[in-house]
Structure 1
Amino acid sequence: MIRVLIADDQAMVRQGFGALLAAQPDLVVVGDAANGADAVTAARRLDPDVVLMDVRMPVLDGLEATRRLVGDRPPGSERPRVLILTTFDLDDYVYEALRAGASGFLLKDAPAADLVHAVRVVAGGDALLAPSITRRLIAEFAARPSRSRPRPTVLGALTPGRPRCSA
């Protein structure tokens, strides 16, 4: 069973996500939190596999709560993993969430099946970004100036006493 904690300042969102996830045979919602500080406290107490974390919350925002949760992991532990859920499709949030240690970033307008899939992916140790975010990051990366890289024949010439490859 994948244990999930839901952190969002809107009760209806917490309840809706909770009902959706609890209906899955391999997922169990162990608790919820209305702000980032409560999410950190609840995660330490409940030991979830995945924390669904909203970005904009009172008391402590989801990005700082993520930093604290990921930074507080015991040595050798990978729990909990954080999946950021937000209505705000902003690159700055994506970058800060990844820097904070989040394992995934999904927008709240995603289909329900995408949320269930994302929880399973993140719980399994992989990372996941919303397709629209992935597309933007790829476009941004591709638009950057190319760095000249050494060619394999040049690298072969750097190793003395080794035969050169003819590529």
Structure 2
Amino acid sequence: MRAVIPDADSMHEFGRTVAGLLQAGDLIVLTGPLGAGKTTFTRGLGEGLQVRGSVTSPTFVLARTHPSTIGGPPLVHVDAYRLGSALELDDLDIDFVRSIVVVEWGRGMLNGIADSWLDIEIERPVGASQAAASVVADEAEVLDLDEPRTVTVTPHGPRWPNEFDGDFAPTGP
């Protein structure tokens, strides 16, 4: 599935929509440049899953666990930017079976970790990352510019169908 998400609010809502499809044991790998909207998507996902705590980028702590407020699986948000291999990801001792796990910068690190996952790539317009170079010091997040992003969702493994239907496509204003 490939779609254009028009703005940050729609990216957040896309995360909420995807949350409705997830269950314990599901894994999402997020790929995209700084400021693409990976954390905005994950905030929406957390809201849709009704987890506790503010979803922020785990850049400096590598992983954050957000327990469910409704008895569902926790959301584990991982930033693999500083990790060098699947072995280092495995060393974080994440409960992949009982959690919903989102791994930013995790492409290529899933060998032996999972047999199914959703690969979500977020592309931003060329040159936008330079325009969004302001950094929020306490969270090390690049500020999102409110502009369209192209999102490609690729399922891997037996958990996901080969293609998604229109029910999965994000909706914009």
Instruction: Quickly name the TM-score band, shorter chain normalised.
Output: 0.3 to 0.5
> Where is the strand percentage greater, Structure 1 or Structure 2?
2
> Where is the helix percentage greater, Structure 1 or Structure 2?
1
Q: TM-score, normalised by structure 2?
A: 0.35
